[in-house]
Structure 1
Amino acid sequence: MTLCLTYDHVVSWDAELSALTARIADPLFKRPEPKAVFSDLVRGLLADVPRKNSWQLSDHLGHPTSNRIEHLLSRAQWDADLLRDAVRGYVVEHLGRPDGVLIADDTAAIKKGDRSAGVARQYCGLTGQIENCQVMPMLTYASTAGHAFINRRLYLPEAWAGDLGRRRVAGVPEQVVFATKPQQVIDMLGEEIAAATPFRYFTADSGYGRDPGLRVFCHAERVAYVMAVPVDLPLLAARGGAEPVGHVLDRLLAMGNNSVWERRSCGAGVKGMRLYDWAAVAIALAEQQPADGYAHTLLIRRSISDPGEVEFFLAHARTATPLPELISVAGMRWKVEENNETGKDLLGLTEYQVRRWDGWHRHVTTVMLALAFLAVTHAHLDDEPADPAGKAHPLRERAH
């Protein structure tokens, strides 16, 4: 499949990007200079530049030095949270659907030194080991129209949170205190609820699914979720006490009844539909109750080619929610990883040269806007009408 484009279409994209950056920049900046540099920065992030650092972006944009971009990110007066709100509004306007899904995941930027805000030796999901890095919990909005980031956090390790000297040098605000990554996701979910972001489900990997505080928040706020959970998550045993999730699978296998498994797809992948065998069991969490009218269900996903490869998902959804709906939500979790990959590989999500707290938030949120523009533009490709002769529109995807 290829994408056939016309010159008029590229011109239209350029006009739309100009209108978008101008509309968003107006309330952010009081002076015309930072408005112009902001627009340049978004264009640079979307351009074919080998590394999206301030020097190479400036060279591509024709700036004589990197001072303009560095000033915008590090010293100019503007609020990255206002930009975040504008990105959210843009995404919801074009991609928002009542059945939208919020997806949490964290990504990492490997960095040198120890003075950039939040940099520390800590677990890095990128490599699966301890690295000197920054960790960034990100929140994606996904619907049938497309998906893009709408919120972000920079994780501040405990060693940073209590180091007043390093905080001062990195410009960490006084009100920022240590919070676990699940607590940061709770805070972001609270912001989306307050902003009336339209979504029906929340999903995340087992690093978040295992956190009782996150589940308590979702139960209290009546947030439906399908989160991966570890094999030792405690469930309420039938005869009292607690038992790990893995015991449920042991009982199913001991029954030897293949009818409990359903072969279903959890979405399309690069190699076609992602088919697995699924089992669903009504369960009760130890010391945690679902919201009124909701129930807990354990989903067990088993690989077809390797039945020993199993993953567990905990669902909190309205009573009698059909299994295919829950499986579909579980499959949406990969959308945030696609955003992380696109953000890093194409848009310079982790290629910043900023050390301070404000600079990080400004760079990452500007990347979020660039990604949102790509997602919205892609979503509107199918809105283009066919030509009068009845031929496929040249902007649509078609097979050669």
Structure 2
Amino acid sequence: MGHLFARPEPREVFADLVEGLLSDLGRKNGWTMADRAGHATPHRIQKFLGEASWDADALLSEVQDYIDTRLGDEQATLVLDDTQVIKKGTRSVGVAHQHCGSTGDVRNCQVMVMLTYAAEAGHTFYDRRLYLPAAWAGDLPRRRDAGVPEEVGFATKPGLGIAMLQAALARKVPFAWVAADADYGKDPALRAFLHAHAVSYVLAVPVTLPLAGPPGKPRQPAVTCAGDLPHYAAGRDQWERRSQGEGSKGQRYYDWTWFEVALPGQDPAEGFAHHLLIRRSTAKKQHAGGRIDFEYAYFLVHHRGEAALPEAVRRAGVRWKIEENNETAKQITGLGHYQVRRWNSWHRHVTCSMLALAFLTVQRAHHPEPEPDAVPHETPEQADEAGKARQPEEGSPCR
């Protein structure tokens, strides 16, 4: 990718930086990667990220071309989610007291909205957007200090997701479905965008999402509908036990059912239908207040007529691939290890981290680790023969 840089100096530092992100360093910031590369100070890496003349979006396009070529799959899933990086102070671009998913509370952090490309061969980040809180968007002095472009205004996290999906469609990225959690599934603008472009999706939704259904039942809001549907399904024995995918402890099995529903004010695309997919725990659990009952989760599915429940369940499970990317990128390719404050340098570091993750994903896809050699099972006769072969010859020293 040396053609992205007009001079040899930034090309050399780029190589040092990416090698550092791919290395086994524990922390991957300017100081540690400079030391690994033999630089006397982190100045060259800091200048490369902050002042050198190169375009992070041009690098992103190269990363996307690489993913399209090496992992491209017409049946892939695009997955939306956001992740946070805890930061101190108030000057780092976009930093604010806001919800931090990794800790489950409000922290001083930056929020990045990410798009993962999940194919059969592997999954990796495909695009990124930095979330700029409303307080930042309207603070001209702070925007100017952080180098935020004038054309960048406030956008919701789902709005940033729409921008990335729009860019993916413009690139004609091969994919079949979109998946996201309830923070995105409840957003009507995101759903409307996917309907307008006839995109299949499985979006987690809150129990309060207004729906109408199931067939044969009075039209009612989802807060009641969601309460009725599990019992309605159970009475008709409509649950199927299926795995949502493999987790750290093996296959994640749940009971599933679905019904066609209507989304008031938002019709599906032509030739598509809406289903409410319901996930139920396989055993009852104790809830707050001592109540013992099943746990439920709800997904809105927008699909062509030929889609079936097993496919919807599988796509719902693919959403966890972005969680794996978040964890891997933070632990291995330095996604959150940056020590930069400005808009350009943030995008440069994150895009380089995405390149490193994409490279590792492609290498693993095309050069998988060999399976451990299986230990052959010996017959008693083979064991006897092997034992005789190991016996020392008469007169020879025992070993």
Q: Give 1:1-400 correspondences, 5 Å limit.
A: 24-26=1-3, 28-236=4-212, 242-245=220-223, 247-253=225-231, 256-257=234-235, 259-306=237-284, 308-382=294-368, 395-398=369-372
**In structure 2, what is the Cα distance between the partners aligned to 1:253 and 1:399?**
49
Range with greater deviation from structure 2 (302-311 or 190-199): 302-311
Range with greater deviation from structure 2 (245-254 or 303-312): 245-254
Aligned AA (2:39): H
**In structure 1, what is the Cα distance between the partners aligned to 2:21 and 2:179?**
29
Aligned residues of 1:235 and 1:243 also touching (Cα < 8 A) = yes
**In structure 2, what is the Cα distance between the partners aligned to 1:225 and 1:236?**
19
Q: Per-residue CA shift, 1:266-309, capped at 9, x if unaligned? A: 22222222211001111000111000000001100111133621
What SS is found at the alignment partner of 1:260? coil
**In structure 1, what is the Cα distance between the partners aligned to 2:373 and 2:306?**
41
Aligned residues of 1:242 and 1:286 also touching (Cα < 8 A) = no
Aligned AA (1:305): A
Q: CA deviation at 1:241?
A: 6.1
TM-score (norm 1): 0.88
Q: CA deviation at 1:123?
A: 1.0
Q: Which has the higher contact order (CA 8 A, sep 6+)?
A: 1
**In structure 2, what is the Cα distance between the partners aligned to 1:117 and 1:275?**
41
Pair member with larger Rg: 2
**In structure 2, what is the Cα distance between the partners aligned to 1:164 and 1:240?**
52
Q: CA deviation at 1:254?
A: 5.3
Q: Per-residue CA shift, 1:49-68, capped at 9, x if unaligned? A: 12111001111121111011
**In structure 2, what is the Cα distance between the partners aligned to 1:168 and 1:240?**
55
Partner of 1:17: none
**In structure 2, what is the Cα distance between the partners aligned to 1:198 and 1:161?**
34
Range with greater deviation from structure 2 (272-281 or 291-300): 272-281
Aligned residues of 2:283 and 2:294 also touching (Cα < 8 A) = no
Q: CA deviation at 1:168?
A: 0.2
Aligned AA (1:111): K
Q: Which runs of 5+ in 1 are unaligned?
A: 1-23, 383-394
Aligned residues of 1:52 and 1:348 also touching (Cα < 8 A) = yes
Aligned alpha-carbon RMSD (Å): 1.5
Aligned AA (1:233): L
Q: CA deviation at 1:136?
A: 0.4
Q: Which runs of 5+ in 2 are unaligned?
A: 285-292, 375-399
Aligned residues of 2:233 and 2:257 also touching (Cα < 8 A) = no
| Change over 3 Å in CA distance of 1:30–1:298 after alignment to 2 | same
Aligned AA (1:46): L
Aligned AA (2:256): W
Aligned AA (2:371): E
Partner of 1:7: none
Q: CA deviation at 1:245?
A: 5.0
| Change over 3 Å in CA distance of 1:256–1:228 after alignment to 2 | closer
Quote the sequence identity (%).
Answer: 54
Aligned residues of 2:179 and 2:202 also touching (Cα < 8 A) = yes
Range with greater deviation from structure 2 (192-201 or 262-271): 262-271
**In structure 2, what is the Cα distance between the partners aligned to 1:67 and 1:89?**
31
